[in-house]
Amino acid sequence: MLRSMYSGISGMKNFQTKLDVIGNNIANVNTYGFKKGRTTFKDLVSQQISGSSAPTATLGGTNAKQIGLGSQISTIDTVNTQGSLQTTGRTLDLGISGDGFFTLLDGNGQRYYTRSGNFYLDKGGDVVNSDGLHILDTNGNKINIDPNSQSFSIGADGSVTTVPASTAAVSIGLTKFPNSEGLEKAGQNLYRASNNSGTPTTTNPVKPGTGGTGSLVAGALEMSNVDLSEEFTDMIVAQRGFQANTRIITTSDQILEELVNLKR
């Protein structure tokens, strides 16, 4: 009886976590380059009432008797499926069609990675993201576009072409990881390498379309891969699961009350 109470509590906690993940997904439904989260469960330890027995010459074998003691969080995954590309027509809006991440450098020399491709020019011509982090080229250097250029364009292979033509060939690079789902979210649409993501397959970013990376789509942004219909369905399932676990606690409490009232 008390076991069922604690099983219900574990289920409530797990479904609350699932609702937290769903809420974050819905909050970021319009966040460029956002990758949704997914919660999975697994059962807790089971208490063995009696063990199994092997068959004998006269009797067959019997199975073990076990009572489960609830559930726990198994994983909270980052689902790195491709988001749809939305056309913007802006030159520095870049979408990735395929694998790979843009590589960004902060003021401390720390590298971050992102799928959000809304970039900007600062007054010196450096290409930066909305927080001022510099995007790196295939040589691991900051990308600079001559402020005196009349216009510029970015190709599917990341090459930057200016008018008039610049003497230095520059190409926006992409970074690929052995396990991209192992990257840690650092906030501000950024990821950082973790112990399980592995190190980038190359020291410096590579030209888009090589090394297993996708191609760039200039004038487009990758939308969030959150599917609202799926999220609302999961929300209903989580809500009902939470309610069912509260009923387990309520029913166990009613039975305990009956036991207490046996002695009047």
Confidence of residue 167 (pLDDT cuts 50, 70, 90): low
- Angle between helix axes 2-27 and 228-260 (nearest 10 degrees) is 160
Confidence of residue 1 (pLDDT cuts 50, 70, 90): low
∠ CA 149-154-155, rounded to 5°? 140
pLDDT at 119 over 80: yes
Bridge pairing between strands 101-105 and 134-135: antiparallel
pTM, to two decimals: 0.88
pLDDT at 165 over 90: no
CB atoms within 10 A of CB 167: 6
Q: Can you read off the two tokens belonging to residue 43?
A: 């059962």
**Residues, the chain:** 264
pLDDT tens per residue across span 198-242: 999 889 999 999 999 999 999 999 999 999 999 999 999 999 999
Q: Can you read off the two tokens belonging to residue 155?
A: 């190709």
∠ CA 15-26-191, rounded to 5°? 95
Q: Percent of the chain at pLDDT above 90?
A: 76
Confidence of residue 72 (pLDDT cuts 50, 70, 90): very high
